[in-house]
Amino acid sequence: MKMLQAPDATQREIVGHLRTTEHLLAQVATLVSGHDCDAEIIPMPDLGLPHNVRRIHGGFFTGAYYRWDSVVPMVPVDATVNLCGVTLFRVEDDFADEQDFRQRVEAARAVLVDKSSYVWNFTTGNHFVILAENRTPGVLPEGRYLVLHASAAEFKNQYNGLYPSPGNWYHDEVRVFSGKNGRYLRYLSGKPAERFSRMVAMIEHYQHERQRVCAALILGAEARITEEICSILHYGMPDTSSVAIGCQWLSDDNPRSLLLTRPGAPLYLIRAHTDGDNRTNTLNGPVTLTPHGLGVRALEPLDLAYDDDHLVMGGRRLKLDESLAGRDFVAIRDFDRDTDLPRILDDCPGTVEAELHQVYSYHRTQEER
């Protein structure tokens, strides 16, 4: 395991579980390949708890890069792979006020729900639509920017999806490698794993275009998009032998990404440097790994334990289809620009090119009020 930073209390507990995951990945890669194989996990500064309880039960956490060596295609299905990312658009100053903003977002939602095959998911988990403002001229012009964070939900739990849902296209091909203390690794190998990776590669292009379609609907016309600044994935497969969960993988040709913070707080456009310890090689070339946000911490000791069909967390028995979203025993990490931003940039070096102040936002917790 390659550590970039000193872990906090939640991360120290998670790292212990990730070491087992790393060992299981190497064991399964060795099994399917027929010779000794290696695996490596690189936690990010935002290593934390996913909302998805099944993912934790399977040994995977948000804010990390998971890699394994295998000459035979292999995919760990409880990484619950899908494609998710953030896109930043420079737009015309087109919203009269917050009510106008919300009405336009709701109008876009109605079109997607009633007239399209898209699944509306901007109020799922930590997804959002934000109108932000750059108030300081520099690399980015002053003005307003639309930020979209969502996943390709059309390829999640459906028959044609990537999540390990009962009865989906690969359900009968899942194999289980059992470890100690209730730990295991569920995986695909051979042809099903090869097909899985092809689907992920296909959905990458789909995800970027999906964001453009949604932005145009919210704005009322694609012509109102002045420029697409960046569209960065933080969830997917950088190559056929790795998974990134809440971890951006940036090519040298496209080193910009957004650091997400907290509801109402500024977002930061950062150009990654290529000389840090967060550099790694993939089958598609070298990439720079960066955090996509702050991560979710536990407000009390995790004390994780694994039953066959439950996860025990802090003495609570959680069903595998439950979510941690909105639970009172977890929280997004605190963020202070003067202390936390330099700490993150120490671990994942980069230059802040713009500070984007949130003007209006549309997300899950607002919808629940």
Residue with tokens 């990010």: 44
> What secondary structure does DSSP assign to 116-135, as a single string?
SS----TTSTT-EEEEEEE-
Beta strands (DSSP E) in 273-366 are: 279-282, 285-291, 296-298, 305-306, 310-313, 316-319, 330-332, 350-363
Q: Report the distance separating Cα 235 and Cα 325, nearest Å.
A: 18
Predicted confidence at residue 365, as pLDDT, reads: 66
Predicted confidence at residue 266, as pLDDT, reads: 95
pLDDT band at 6 (very low <50, low <70, confident <90, very high): confident
Predicted confidence at residue 130, as pLDDT, reads: 97
Q: 0.85 exceeded by the pTM?
A: yes
Q: Is the confidence at residue 366, as pLDDT, over 70?
A: no
Interval 142-151 mean pLDDT: 96
Predicted confidence at residue 150, as pLDDT, reads: 96
pLDDT band at 354 (very low <50, low <70, confident <90, very high): very high
Dihedral, 80, 40, 202, 292 alpha carbons, nearest 10? 70
Do the Cβ atoms of 128 and 362 come closer than 8 Å? Answer: yes
Q: Report the distance separating Cα 22 and Cα 39, nearest Å.
A: 6
Side chain identity, residue 241: S
Q: Report the distance separating Cα 344 and Cα 89, nearest Å.
A: 24
Q: Is the confidence at residue 64, as pLDDT, over 50?
A: yes
pLDDT band at 12 (very low <50, low <70, confident <90, very high): very high
Q: Give residue-wise pLDDT tens across range 180-215.
A: 988 999 999 999 999 999 999 999 999 999 999 999
pLDDT band at 369 (very low <50, low <70, confident <90, very high): very low
Q: Report the distance separating Cα 63 and Cα 65, nearest Å.
A: 7
Q: What is the mean pLDDT of the chain?
A: 94
Interval 243-263 mean pLDDT: 95
Q: For the chain, what is the largest distance between any 2 Cα atoms, rounded to a whole number of angstroms?
A: 63
Predicted confidence at residue 367, as pLDDT, reads: 47
pLDDT band at 41 (very low <50, low <70, confident <90, very high): very high
Q: Give residue-wise pLDDT tens across range 270-291.
A: 999 999 999 999 999 999 999 9
pLDDT band at 323 (very low <50, low <70, confident <90, very high): very high
Do the Cβ atoms of 277 and 2 come closer than 8 Å? Answer: yes
Summarize the chain as % helix, strand, coil (round to 5): 30, 35, 40
Q: Is the confidence at residue 368, as pLDDT, over 60?
A: no
Do the Cβ atoms of 287 and 250 come closer than 8 Å? Answer: yes
Interval 45-51 mean pLDDT: 95
Interval 349-361 mean pLDDT: 96
Q: Is the confidence at residue 94, as pLDDT, over 70?
A: yes
Predicted confidence at residue 326, as pLDDT, reads: 84
